[in-house]
Amino acid sequence: MLLRNIELEKAACMLVNWYDQFRKNTIKAQIVPVPDDVLEYLRQDLVILPKECSVLSSSDTSKTKHFNTYNDEFSDDDEDEEELPAFPEFSKKLSDSIEKLGGSAFLKSDWHSPKDAQWITLGQSLKVKDITDAYQLLKASSFCKEDFGERSSPANGGGFHVVLKKWCDIHPGSEFRCFVKGRSLVAISPRHWPSYHEHIATERNDIVSDIVSLFKEKIKEAFPLKDYVFDVYRPAKDHVVIMDFNVYGKGHSDSLAFDYDQLDADAVTATIEEEDVPEFRYLPEDCGIQPNPRNNYGFPQDVLEMFQGASGAAGQPAEGDGLIHRLMDEWNLQTNGDDDDE
Ligand SMILES: Nc1ncnc2c1ncn2[C@@H]1O[C@H](COP(=O)(O)OP(=O)(O)OP(=O)(O)O)[C@@H](O)[C@H]1O
Ligand SMILES: [Mg+2]
């Protein structure tokens, strides 16, 4: 059995290493290399936003209004301003990139989006409209922090990056995860498994044939790995967009409607006629409310405890409580709204 080189596989899945090749079939992106001082700042646990964010919030009233969570509510005075970190060049590159992408972007580190940190932005969305949104998400996300980790990894030989993609309003029922084993497309799952979407059953043949066409025409011979997972978005018939490439296997990418043991076993017995004839699994009918996976990344307990610990005497709310309650109310409103939709 061939030993896998996971670092090599991770390198192949970094957007910076596949973007140029698949530029025509993916969402427009901007890649910003992370210099060492920013890297050091991103690795620290303390969430203090750089100076450029305060400049932005005091000068630009047209962008997102931020509570300026960490700088305004808890710092004593303007005196702290002097001690704020500053990364003028990097911040400028971030804001230029957002601008080039039309003013709103989706952000990622080399492998992960900050989906565990959605709670921190006021709109509780991963939509990034300015550098404050970007820094807040990057600093609050454990997934991104891990990507910026200190362990030297050959996959990051070319350095670390922040990736900004043009923001698209994506219908969750039109996203799919595709599993490739031995360069053959073997399985397709709805990306937001197990939620039910009526159109998937009615369009199942078109969905499969559109994804198989994209795979055979653009990906199969071009992507360097034999086993991998790729995510796609199919906004309309005959139109499939590559969203991401991920490392194949348990502990690397969620297998959603499938099981890696089964996929591996099936691949061993597959015949040549079965090449690129993927199994498509989806929920054929609505079996009631399915858990919203985003709720797994709710308000972090340690943040709640920190704020509760800051409460005033005899249950009187302390100053910070107003902020946390406002954020939590918004969070609850949003997540309840999401559940109603599904
Ligand atoms: N450009 C975009 N605009 C808006 N939403 C997006 C955009 N790109 C991705 N998303 C949404 O964010 C979700 C997660 O994106 P992505 O798969 O890139 O993150 P990830 O961290 O690599 O996830 P995983 O760890 O599951 O592979 C997507 O399923 C999609 O719904
Ligand atoms: Mg991914």
Closest CA to ligand 1's atom 11 = 170
Helix extents (H) in the chain: 6-13, 15-22, 36-43, 51-59, 88-100, 131-140, 142-147, 198-202, 204-214, 260-269, 301-309, 319-341
Closest CA to ligand 1's atom 30 = 170
pLDDT digits (tens, 9 = 90+) for 101-128: 999 999 999 999 999 998 887 777 899 9
The CA distance from 4 to 338, in Å, is 40
Ligand 1 centroid–CA 113 distance in Å is 6
Ligand 1 centroid–CA 105 distance in Å is 12
Tell me what the mean pLDDT of segment 10-16 comes to. Answer: 95
**What tokens does 230 get?**
């790729």
Name the average pLDDT for the chain.
83
The bound ligand whose nearest atom lies closest to the alpha carbon of 146 is: 1
Tell me what pLDDT residue 70 has: 46
Q: How far is CA 330 from the centre of its chain?
A: 21
Tell me what pLDDT residue 161 has: 96
pLDDT digits (tens, 9 = 90+) for 16-52: 999 999 999 999 999 999 999 999 999 998 879 999 9
Band of residue 300 on the pLDDT scale cut at 50, 70, 90: low
Band of residue 342 on the pLDDT scale cut at 50, 70, 90: very low
Band of residue 314 on the pLDDT scale cut at 50, 70, 90: very low
Ligand 1 atom, smallest distance to 229 CA: 27
Tell me what pLDDT residue 310 has: 46
